């Protein structure tokens, strides 16, 4: 195993210490595993809290800052954070206007965020929760009952974050987050499996010359396995899988997301193919984001997320954001 680590047991803590050194505009509590906006709690603002297993960076800690999250709770690699983390984060960002939990649909995350909401409410924090379940590949998988939460998490955090930054009340921020999730669908493809530090070997066996269609962000099984396809063929398959379910009547936001080990050269080429397919299917593209944002350690592959967006959602997308992983307009 070749990894830029000390020992598997300290990977997350070491990364958080490095994050603190690199981003002084954040408050990084290494001991309690919480990443906060340095100005939290922001007066008269709804707080946004998300989190999940480490290994998906920049999700979620890299999306903490003005215009997105107020706090993120990283768990161990591919493992949910614990309720105490989330309850502490909620208390740290609550200005009295309530806190929204953004939760990817994985069984551990759902259970622990539910418990955290109860703990926070016992301490007088008003909490709302939104579940992200955008993956169209499978319904029910290794870590999930129902659809998995994947790339649409970025759209939910950005658009709800912009609404909260503009002063919207908790009920409005929650409604926008739900609408974004309902308007978004994703499909992922693996060219190679990820390797976790603890295991030291690939999480699944993918023979040379084959790819897995419909994977999750933990390397879960997909819809089917095929021989290697061209970028254009993968785009046809992935976009059609999304459009079968989404059927957009509005222009779409497009996220072409790398899974961790796919270079931008390939991702931009794949984005061109995604635009080709959408044009052939009569779907108008409003905005496109290309890069590795919702990753799976060193997995080679990509995902496509589409979100149909009206004028309000486009304004929220274009609103300023300043985080380690996403920034514009500031």
> Annotated active-site positions, please?
56, 218
Burial letters 224-235, b for 16+ CB under 10 A, else e? eeeeebebeebb
Instruction: Enter the tokens of residue 239.
Output: 């976009």
Residue 301: how many CB atoms within 10 A of its CB?
Answer: 28
Residue 146: how many CB atoms within 10 A of its CB?
Answer: 15
Helix 152-165 and helix 311-318, axial crossing angle in degrees, nearest 10? 80
CA 175 to chain centre: 18
Of 157, 147, 221, give the one whose Cα is nearest residue 190: 221
Assess contact for 102 and 156: CB atoms under 8 A: yes
Residue 266: how many CB atoms within 10 A of its CB?
Answer: 15
């Amino acid at each position: 195993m070749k990894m830029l680590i000390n020992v598997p047991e300290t990977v997350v803590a070491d990364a958080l210490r490095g994050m603190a050194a690199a981003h002084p505009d954040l408050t990084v509590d290494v001991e309690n595993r919480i990443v906060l906006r340095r100005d939290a709690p922001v007066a008269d603002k709804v707080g946004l809290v998300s989190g999940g297993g480490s290994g998906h960076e920049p999700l979620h800690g890299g999306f903490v800052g003005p215009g997105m999250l107020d706090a993120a709770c990283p768990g161990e690699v591919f493992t949910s954070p614990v309720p105490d983390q989330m309850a502490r984060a909620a208390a740290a960002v609550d200005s009295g206007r309530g806190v929204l939990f953004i939760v990817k649909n994985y069984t551990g995350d759902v259970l622990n965020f539910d418990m955290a909401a109860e703990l926070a409410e016992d301490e007088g924090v008003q909490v709302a929760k939104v579940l992200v379940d955008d993956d169209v590949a499978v319904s029910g998988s290794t870590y999930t009952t129902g659809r998995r939460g994947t790339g649409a998490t970025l759209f939910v955090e950005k658009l709800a974050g912009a609404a909260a930054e503009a002063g919207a009340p908790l009920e409005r921020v929650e409604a926008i987050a739900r609408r974004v999730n309902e308007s978004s669908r994703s499909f992922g493809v693996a060219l190679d499996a990820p390797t976790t530090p603890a295991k030291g070997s690939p999480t699944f066996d993918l023979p040379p010359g084959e790819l897995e269609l419909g994977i999750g962000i933990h390397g879960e099984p997909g819809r089917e396995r095929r021989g290697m396809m061209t970028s254009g063929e993968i785009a046809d398959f992935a976009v059609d899988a999304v459009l079968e379910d989404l059927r957009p009547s509005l222009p779409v936001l497009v996220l072409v997301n790398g899974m961790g080990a796919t270079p931008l050269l390939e991702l931009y080429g794949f984005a061109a193919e995604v635009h080709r397919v959408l044009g052939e299917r009569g779907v108008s593209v409003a905005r496109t984001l290309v890069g590795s944002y919702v990753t799976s350690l060193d997995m080679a592959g990509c995902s496509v997320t589409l979100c149909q967006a009206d004028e309000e959602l486009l304004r929220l997308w274009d609103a300023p954001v300043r985080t380690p992983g996403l920034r514009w307009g500031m």
